Structures are given as C-alpha cells and as structure tokens.
Amino acid sequence: MDRFRLGLVGIGKIARDQHLPAVARNDRFTLAAIASRHGQVDGVPNYPDTAAMIAGTELDAVSFCTPPEGRYELARIAIEAGKHVMLEKPPAATLSEIEALADFARSRNVTLFTSWHSREAAGVGPARNWLSRREIKAVRIHWREDIRRWHPGQEWILAAGGFGVFDPGINALSIATAILPAPLFVEAATMDVPAGRAGPLAAELQLRCGGAKGYASFDFLQTGPQTWDIEVDTDAGTLRLSLGGSVLQLPGEAECTEPDQEYPRLYARFAELLATGGSDVDLRPMRLVADAFLLAERRETEAFAF
C-alpha cells in the first residue's frame, strides 16, 4: 500500500502534542517536510513557508496547524499546487474563506478535510447512535479550561480572528452538532471580552434543538480540573459525555471510558479520504460561532495578560 507524502505547516504546541505523534503512528503517511519559522523536526526538511515547502519537496498532501487567521492564503497555495489539504480546527478565520476553499478544492479535484478532533472522542459515535432514537428534552454544555495551560503566551487567540474562548468552545459545538438528531441554533448570547482584546474569555449561549432548549457555558479561566461536559435530557433519561467526549454514561449504565485516540482517528479519516478521492467539509460548528458573534451582547471585563 502506497504511503502519502505529507507536509506539515506550523510546528507549535498542537502540532507537537498531537499531529506529529499521530502521523508517526499512521503507516499511510510519511512526514516528508515541514514549514515553520519557529520549529524544527529532526531528520525532516524544514522550509520557511508553505510555497517553499511545496516547491522543494514532493508532497501528496499538506496538513495545516497554523492559527486560523491567514490560513486561507496558505491553504489556497497548497490547493493550487494540486495538494490535498487537512485543516486543524477552526478551519479558517471566516465562513466565507472556508466556503471559498471548498469551492476551489472541488475545482482542482483535490481533497479538503475540515477536521474536528473532538468528534473522534470515543463516546461521540455511540452517543449519536443512542440519541438518534430519542426525543430531545434539553441540552446543557459546560466547556471550561485554562487558557494559560493550553495556549501559553499565544496572543493570537484573543486577537481578531483568533476566536477567543470559542477556540475550545467550538469543540463542544462540533460534538453537539454531530450527536444531536435535529439542527442546533443560537437564540441569544453574551460574551465577556477583556479590555484591549478582541476575543472573549467567556461566553454563554442560549440554544434551541428542535423543540428543546439548550444552554452552553464557555470559560477560558478555569484552573484546576478542567470541565468538558455535555448533558442531553431525553424521553429515556439523561445522556452524559464528559472529559471532552471520551467518557460516555447512558441512563442506568456504568460509565464507558476509552483512551484518547482523537488525532490518530483524524489521520485515519484523512487517509481514507485520500484513497477514495472524497472531501469532508462540515461548517455547522463554525456557523454557530458566527451566529453567536452576530447575536451576542458584549461585556468588557478587566484586562488580561498571559
């Protein structure tokens, strides 16, 4: 079986923690080159930018781990060169950008994969199957983590186009849109934005799923144990997903827990798309974030420093 020659763009925390180990464990990929101004990978050619990497190394596909701001231009370079593309979430800074990339990828007959890693958590698939046969009564999302732990010194995340607390919050929305049997809508929202910043550190959303009400609470300042929980009340009891979807508890049953395999599963999915010539572009989580920004009451809070 042929291996796909992969280029990786952006060697930051997420690439080192998740992408590099997942690629190394997948026998369908060979890491052929990287493009990074600040990172190196031993034994792999390093280029200063995407264009130089594509010009200097034979590649089949490119995986982008850069911040969403500016990613459209980089991904377009790869697609224009006929390379298949995988995008870390969020896939781009705006909906218009990712829709344009999807159209461009179709016109060039290359694969585009907008990856949502949290959907690959062990409990998500079983939760979707169970909920498909239930009537939804209510949805509650609590997604709270420590920005200084997961994004140390990453000023871009609170800048315009950086998503703020929706960078992790979109993970919750990616799970919710995957498991709920009816569309999810934002009806109202509030955002707490620190003075001098563009992105929020906290947000609350009022949601609707069919005839059921929902609520989401996102917080980027939670220290100690982190909270990544979704609860769905149904006509058969309450389903609970915790630890980012890795722990599933169905009504009357014991918790079901499996080890983290999110990024290995993403790259397995990317390899499948490359083998079949398909694309996977799901914009529902990003649309909900865009709707939240359109509807939200913005409240200025005290200044924040890393």
Q: Give the active site residues.
A: 89
How buried is 302 (Cβ within 10 angstroms: 0-12 exposed, 13-18 middle, 19+ buried)? exposed
HEC states along 235-290?
Answer: CCEEEEEEHHHCEEECCCCCCEECCCCHHHHHHHHHHHHHHHCCCECCCHHHHHHH
H helix or E strand, kind and range, residue 105: helix 95-107
**d(C-alpha 24, C-alpha 43), whole Å:** 13
Strands of the sheet with 202-209, listed across from one edge = 256-257, 247-249, 237-242, 227-234, 136-144, 212-219, 202-209, 184-194, 297-301
CA distances from 38 to 13, 23, 134, 202 (A): 11, 20, 49, 30
Q: What is the number of other CB atoms lying within 10 angstroms of the CB of residue 124?
A: 23
Q: How many CA atoms lie within 13 A of 260 on its CB side?
A: 10
